[in-house]
Amino acid sequence: MKITLSPYEMELVRKQLGREPNEAEWLTIDALWSEHCSYKSSKVFLKSFPSEGERVVMGIEDWQDAGALDIGDGWAIVLKLESHNHPSAIDPFNGAATGVGGIIRDIISKGARPIALLDMIRVGPLNNSRNRWLLKNIIAGIGFYGNSIGVPVVGGELDFDESYTDNPLVDVAGVGVVRKDKIIPSVIKEPGLKIIIVGLTGLDGLGGASFASRKLSGEDEIGAVQIADPFAGKIVLDVTLEVADKVEAIKDLGGGGLVVGITEMANGFGAIVNLDKVPLRVKDLRPEEILVSETQERMLFAVKDENVEKVCKAFEYYEYPCAVIGEFTKEPYIKFLYNGREVVSLPSDLLLSPPRFVWGAKKVREKRLNETKPEVGLEESVKAVVSRILSKEWAYSQFDYEVGTSTVLKPGEADSALISLPNGKLLAIKGDANPDLCAEDPYECGKSIVAEAYRNLASVGAIGIGVVDHLQFGDPRKPDVYYSFVEAIRGIAEASKFFQTPIVGGKVSFYNENKEGKPIKPTPLIVMAGLVKDKFLRNSVVEDSYIVQVGFTRDEMRGSLFTKLFGVYGDVPKTRLNEDYLASQLIVDAINDEKVIFAKDINKGGLIGAIFSILVKGKGVELTLSSIPSDTDDWVPKLFSENSGRFIVLTNDPDYLMRKAKGIYISVVGKVTKNYGILEIDDKKINLDKEIENYYNYLNEVMS
């Protein structure tokens, strides 16, 4: 098992201890001080995130496994966002499946019942056979676990870029529901509690936290990947919720395994753990292997003496291993024993106080071969852009998105997933990232992805109430990578404060690089949850409806799909948060007043990208270029700019929108026609029936 500690960190340990740690102690420190578990290169900046608000029940707190938001009537939702990037690059099926399992256990560790999953997947181009293999097995792994355990996958993203060829990104978000007064902490508040472990410990996932805290080496690292067992996961889910009222704290055994779970749960107190009492899947495991194994489907419980038998009996009914392995102590030392011999004895404050690093940050601008506007025709550009917009039905068809009867809008029906809650309210949830924009300007990108998620929720009638994030970058020691990281945080924090959507949890994932050491495009990702204000919108497309653009188009082309296809030029889109807010409020009001039948925010592909979602519904579209409100007469930005603050809606009453609008542009830009697949821009007719067919069939054909 590799150690990721630097010589500086190792010398720091020796000075604090006054001695040389043994092998088991080095592995313990390495796990807890790993980037994956300690956030040692990011925590300084993460403190800028807004984490408080009237709906925040549990925010960004040390060693809490998930955040929680008040949804009224005594209920809360629990939110969590995680990834399994490195494991999925080595073993995509188990890497993705165990990512789902980890999210499920994070949710149930708060005493919440999981009700929905979202998956956000990024791989390299599908003309590469290995990328196709990765995608097929990632989706199979997600479906295998989610379908088996009975939690619907209600939405997500699927994106392709060369930078993810060696290092795919596999993000999974989970939502659970729980009574506010029944939320279980992940840490103890007093010593003297017994430590119970459920599940078997094996050889899979050895050193997983350290593995996730370094770049992929190209060597055989399959042993660091955990093996998924959703049927055991279902037992863990059901029984954990059954015994939740009999325990004082619950923690999923995830990154770092037993050493991290015990130390974080101790919360500054101490623990004495007997490793020889840990139930094993494999005989004769070394104590060092038991310490850092990340075998899945395991949980830790802190339990009072009188409840120990009740907790274990519930698991033993299903013949699921359950054992008392130790006790939390007042003395602030974490001690692991094996056959009566002390193999680890380390002070809690050392383990929980890793050094903090702030690396040098410097903006590095790559030289571009083409900084001038490309010469490209109208029809060519329209067809090229819409050809990159693909239906995700191939992926969603492998997921059970209706199990549990809580799904209101199916995946792909709208810009946001919509699920029903126990208190009768409707929850909207959406994940957003924009790596192409982040590669150009991470600060504007940070603001933009929060604003886009806010608009996505508004398009179904919901107002955002909270956010979880995942910040995915290359090696933080590289100045340009660290610059992107810091700037993205600045943008996300600013936008989250503006929209009053506090960040209640998240994760940082560094060292996402290819085998040559080139980092992925900066990929901060946020998942926003919101509540439907009154009514929700189920999109429909009706002939002769007016197409109305809400918001103003700007000649800001950099970072757009158009420039990705034809050459980089132009200005970076500036996210004007007040325009996003005003436009979103108007859309929600129009939905509540039943004045729109279709709403979609304008993002990838610009206006043409949004219009294409009308065309694929079996109709045609007429657009008038001169009617598009813009700061330019150039047709390229009018059609393809991706600046924020804009929606396309279908309505029979555009005057309503004009009367209700405050401080934003409203313009009728076209009409829906009966001419299937025909996009008419002024006097130019473009037949997109082949592109529509490609929209529905491309992934199915390529992945078959």
506 is in an annotated binding site: yes
Domain count, the chain: 1
470 is in an annotated binding site: no
Residue 583 CB burial class (10 angstroms; 0-12, 13-18, ≥19): buried
454 is in an annotated binding site: no
106 is in an annotated binding site: yes
The pLDDT value given to residue 150: 84
The pLDDT value given to residue 332: 97
End-to-end Cα separation, the chain, in angstroms: 38
Domain contains 551: yes
Assign 3-class secondary structure to 67-87. Answer: EEEEEECCEEEEEEEEECHHH
Domain contains 361: no
Domain contains 567: yes
82 is in an annotated binding site: yes
Give the separation between CA 294 and CA 446, rounded to whole angstroms: 33
Q: What is the pTM of this model?
A: 0.94
469 is in an annotated binding site: yes
Nearest Cα to Cα of residue 431 among 141, 174, 104: 174
The count of residues in the chain is 704
Please give the average pLDDT of every successive group of 10 residues along the chain, which has 704 residues. 87 96 95 91 92 90 79 96 86 90 92 93 94 93 86 89 93 94 94 96 64 48 64 93 96 90 95 96 90 92 97 95 97 96 96 93 72 91 95 82 74 88 95 95 97 98 96 95 97 98 93 89 96 94 97 97 94 96 98 97 97 94 97 97 97 96 95 96 95 91 85
Domain contains 388: no
666 three-class SS = strand
Task: Give residues with Cβ within 8 angstroms of 21, minimum separation 6.
Answer: 13, 14, 29, 346
For 123, the enclosing helix (H) or strand (E) is strand 113-123
CATH number at residue 688: 3.90.650.10
Domain contains 560: yes
- Residue by residue, DSSP assigns 571-591 as PPPP--HHHHHHHHHHHHHHH
Residues marked active site are found at: 36, 84
Domain contains 57: no
Give the separation between CA 272 and CA 63, rounded to whole angstroms: 19
Assign 3-class secondary structure to 206-257. Answer: CCHHHHCCCCCCCCCCHHHCCCCCHHHHHHHHHHHHHHHHHCCEEEECCCCH
Give the separation between CA 530 and CA 120, rounded to whole angstroms: 19
The pLDDT value given to residue 59: 85
For 10, the enclosing helix (H) or strand (E) is helix 7-17
Q: Other CB atoms closer than 10 Å to residue 412's CB: what's the count?
A: 15
* Domain extent for 682: 539-704
42 is in an annotated binding site: no
**Could you tell me the CA-to-CA distances from 388 to 125, 391, 431, 571, 681 in Å, in that order?**
11, 10, 19, 22, 20
Sign (positive/negative) of CA torsion 62, 63, 66, 72? negative
